[in-house]
Amino acid sequence: MDPRATAAPAPDTSSDTPSPGGLARTIRLRRAEFAPLARHLDMPEPGVLSPLTDLCAPDPAAGPDATGPVREAAELLREFTGLSAATVRTALLPLAVPDRVVDARSALFNSAPTQCRLYASRRHEGVFVGLRPALDGGYELMAPFAPQDLAWWVQLQVQFSSGQPVPLPQEELTAEQLAFLLVLVDAYKTAFFRSFSGRRTEPEPVTVCVTDLLEAQQDALRVADRRWIGHAVAELFATQLHPGGRSGVTLPPVTAAVAERELRRYEESGYLERVGAGDPAAYEPGLTLATFAGTLFTWISLLSLHDVQVVGHEAGRPVAQEDMVLFVVTEPTVWAVVSQGLTRAREDWSAVRFGLRALGVVQACGLAAEFLRPIPELDLPEEVYRPEPEPEPEPEQVTATVAAPVSEPLSRPPAPPVSPERTTEPVFRPTHRVPSGGMSAWAAPDPSLKAVTRIDARVELHVLERAGDWAHIVCSNGWSAWVDGRRIEELGGADTL
């Protein structure tokens, strides 16, 4: 992770969800007003990812008088006074034919996460249309919402951190290892505060065991106490992934076998020290792990960006790439968790990897800006923007995947990140990895072309073919490119995590 960071200007808003800081204007709408507004602006038929399909349909849960009178279009668009209807239509076009959806959520310590969904389209690049719930039960529509507006929001959230370098217990984790680390922090936090229950003549070590970890996990599942990091992070994952929280999938559970294995691994690495000879074994965190966990005892805020970008069209459905970055803001530092391999992961998270970093404020803003850049040089087919076809009665599973979730107030989340055919592909099996310092990647084995992106250090790759010094590689999320085959490192039998 090497974000190209630059300082962003100070935001002019105190909201805890993304708000316009530049040219964006806000339209406050009730559900019944979306259809008249779309007709007035002569918006195209909603594409498969558009929320207008649901928002323009009658609300079966609302009575005939529940929404109140529908305002005239001129009243709805008063914030755009002086602009032509064609200009306003262009600004709102991504709402009708999006090919990218970014969910931005934030949560203060012990508070429920707020949400804002941002729609973008390559037909009108460089702007988003923001959609978020309003306090009165309606919606707020923000346009044109520039990436810089979102960068200001990120800076607003992370600016309360000192952003100091903090030692890490581990920089790359599997989904199982990340779940264990969060549970370990919560178990240690509970044990640490319990240690203040009475005075002692001699100091006693604060320890955790397998039972403590399993109890901490059960507490997180049973009690919605967002002060504990395990619950707070799991809540964001469950409400955003696959996509828009429709599946409710989150990090895998920590079993007794996983807890025992990881405790031994941390002991062998020197991050835990076994205390006494009891059963179950008790472990005292070393300085690095205790410092890491201590920063998360009283985290300030969480903010997450979940991105679904359409990359093609197969078998009548859009195919998309899914990524997520999570910032845990603490006073000492900003912890960043970046996903890799979410696109193909359903209930099986064995191939998902997470990068963990301690960042300064400027670095965090730079990482967010890098994350928000669209995938370069994509030529999407026209089918991506066409309305969703009527679902076939068979098989039933297909019909279920396009149903709107009951719990999501923003309506219609993106289509599934991969087509059903993609989910049956073989499990990604890495053969090489990117060397230290990262490396550039090209769309074709031609040095005269401009590199399309840089791949972070230690990212695992599978080599498809070679052409001279070039290697055609694919990453765990299905993205492929050409790289300098002389520089990639062969995995062999080495343990890469």
SS3 string of 451-483? CCEEECCCCEEEEEEEECCEEEEECCCCCEEEE
**Which single residue is written with the structure tokens 């262009």?**
90
Res 33 pLDDT > 80? yes
Q: Which two tokens stand for residue 69?
A: 């009178």
- Which has the minimum average pLDDT: 132-136, 168-172, 385-389? 385-389
Residue 105 near residue 304 (C-beta atoms within 8 A) = yes
Q: For residue 3, say if its preceding peptide bond is cis, omega within 30 degrees of 0.
A: no
pLDDT tens digits for range 409-457? 455 554 444 443 333 334 567 889 888 778 888 888 877 777 778 887 8
Whether the pLDDT of residue 388 is over 80: the answer is: no
Does a cis peptide bond (omega within 30 degrees of 0) precede residue 144? yes
Q: What is the pLDDT of residue 481?
A: 85
Q: Using an 8 Å Cβ cutoff, are 38 and 182 in contact?
A: no
Return the residue matching tokens 């919606």.
139
Q: Give the confidence band of 392 by pLDDT, cuts at 50, 70, 90.
A: low
Taking CA atoms, 431 is separated from 459, 489, 492, in Å, by 11, 9, 7
pLDDT in tens, 338-365: 998 888 777 788 889 999 999 999 999 9
Amino acid at 98: P
Q: Which residue has the higher pLDDT, 249 or 285?
A: 285
What mean pLDDT comes out for the span 3-19? 41
pLDDT at position 495 over 80: no
Where does residue 155 rank: exposed (0-12), middle (13-18), buried (19+ CB within 10 A)?
buried
What pLDDT score was predicted for residue 14?
A: 38
Q: How would residue 172 be classed by pLDDT, with cut points 50, 70 and 90?
A: very high
Residue pair 120/374 in contact by the 8 Å Cβ criterion: yes
* pLDDT for 390: 62
Work out the average pLDDT over 5-29: 54
pLDDT tops 70 at residue 99: yes
pTM over 0.85: no
Interatomic CA distance for residues 55 and 37, integer angstroms? 11
Mean pLDDT score of the chain: 81
Provide the phi-psi class of 329: left if phi over 0, else alpha when psi is between -120 and 50, else beta: beta
Residue with tokens 């609302």: 62
d(CA 391, CA 399): 6
User: Looking at the predicted structure, is the pLDDT value of residue 179 above 90?
Assistant: yes
The answer to whether 321 and 242 have CB atoms below 8 angstroms apart is no
Q: Write out pLDDT tens, residues 220-276.
A: 777 778 888 998 998 888 888 766 556 667 788 899 999 999 999 999 999 999 998
Distance CA 449, CA 434 (A): 21
Specify the pLDDT at position 259.
95
**Range from 3-12, 275-284, 374-383, 447-456 that averages highest in pLDDT:** 275-284
> What integer is the mean pLDDT of 18-25?
62
For the chain, the first-to-last Cα distance in angstroms comes to 16
- Give one DSSP letter per residue of 67-96, joined into a string: S-PPPPHHHHTGGGTTS-HHHHHHHHHHHH
Q: Is the pLDDT of residue 200 over 90?
A: no
Tokens of 287: 């300085």
Residues in contact with 5: Cβ distance below 8 Å, sequence separation at least 6, in sequence order: 362, 363, 364, 365, 366, 367, 369
pLDDT at residue 383, rounded to an integer: 86
Compute, in degrees rounded to 10, the torsion defined by CA atoms 103, 109, 110, 116: -20
For 69, how many CA atoms within 13 A lie in the half-sphere containing its CB? 4
Q: What is the structure's pLDDT at 149?
A: 81
Q: Would you state the pLDDT for residue 243?
A: 60
Highest mean pLDDT of the ranges 90-94, 381-385, 476-480: 90-94
| Cβ pair 407, 455 in contact under 8 A | no
* pLDDT tier at 34, thresholds 50, 70, 90: very high
- The alpha carbon of 405 is separated from its chain's Cα centroid by a whole number of angstroms, namely 18
| Highest averaged pLDDT of the listed ranges 21-25, 385-389, 392-396 | 385-389
CA distance 451 to 453: 6
Number of other residues whose CB lies within 10 A of the CB of residue 377: 10
Output 291 or 467, whichever has higher pLDDT.
291
Q: How far apart (Å, rounded) are the C-alpha atoms in residues 183 and 281?
A: 17
Better pLDDT: 236 or 1:
236
Cβ atoms 100, 384 nearer than 8 A:
no
H-type alpha helices, 337-402: 361-372, 396-401
* Residues pairing with 359 in the sheet: 334
Q: Give the per-residue pLDDT at 187.
A: 96
Most confident of 261-275, 308-322, 383-397: 261-275
Tell me the CB-side half-sphere exposure of residue 108, using CA atoms within 13 A. Answer: 6
SS3 of 65, please?
A: coil
In the chain, the domains with their CATH numbers are 428-490 (2.30.30.40)
* Per-residue tokens: 7: 């300082």
Q: How far is CA 196 from the centre of its chain?
A: 37
User: What pLDDT is recorded for position 427?
Assistant: 55
Query: Residue 239's pLDDT is what?
Result: 80
- From the list 346, 339, 106, the residue with the least C-alpha distance to 232 is 106
The predicted pLDDT at position 347 comes to: 75
Are 206 and 195 in contact by the 8 Å Cβ rule? The answer is yes
Residue 161 has pLDDT above 90, yes or no: yes
With 0-12 CB in 10 A as exposed, 13-18 as middle and 19+ as buried, what is 20?
A: buried
Which among 93, 74, 94, 84 is positioned nearest to 27, based on CA atoms?
74
- What integer pLDDT is reported at residue 54 of this predicted model? 87
Report the range of poorest mean pLDDT among 9-18, 291-300, 449-458, 482-491: 9-18
